[in-house]
Homo-oligomer: A and B are copies of this chain.
Amino acid sequence: MSLPHAILTALLEKPSSGLELTRRFDRSIGYFWSATHQQIYRELGKLEAEGLIRALPAEQPARGQKKAYEVLPAGRAELARWTGASQDPKPHRDALLLRLRAAAVVGTAGIEADLRRHLELHERQLAEYREIERRDFPPGRDGPEDRLRHLVLRAGIDLETFWIQWLGHALAEFAHLPDAGEGERPGEPRA
């Protein structure tokens, strides 16, 4: 149950229409909580029905017309409640690690190329984060909110760095692996 709170945060940072929110989810917020425009419109409808946000009074006849929302006091309160509440971390899912484990059983054919591709993707993402850091957090301004936002960005940077390192490590491992090519011992399972 985090999407509504992601939207409330975005709207508090700046009142927006659905499409503007979508675009902001493609950048900053989407880096750790992605959402498509369909999700966002659906959720905006719910949040308005619950009285947590409202459409900014302006001309909004209907379809094809921009409709901006702002957060109501009840929405801010709900966000503060959620932010401070204790929450268990969700179990972690990573298909790449799963594939590597599968590769240990059915062979490594094909996976190395994809590791390389992932490495490239992570390098691109890291570059993007560093660019944001350079632009938004120059060594000077550090109010309390800036420090928190910077902390979040650092998590992104360090995570990408971690993956790049790990993928390098993995590829090195492949370099001097016999490379079974196709399942190592196609019959027998092992404990």
Binding site for B on A (CB under 8 A): 2, 5-6, 8-9, 11-15, 29-34, 70-71, 76, 79-80, 82-87, 89-111, 113-114, 117-118, 121, 144-145, 147-149, 151-152, 154-156, 158-159, 162, 165-166, 169-170, 173, 177-178, 180, 182-184, 186, 189-191
Contacts and interface: CB of A to CB of B under 8 A. Distances in A.
Given A103-B148, A114-B87, A94 B33 contact: yes
A113 B169 CA distance: 35
A86 B113 CA distance: 8
A95 B2 contact: yes
Contacts of A108: 148
Contact of A166 (B99, B117, B154): B154
A182 to B, nearest CB: 7
B9 A98 contact: yes
By secondary structure, the A interface counts as helix
A79 B102 contact: yes
B158 A100 contact: no
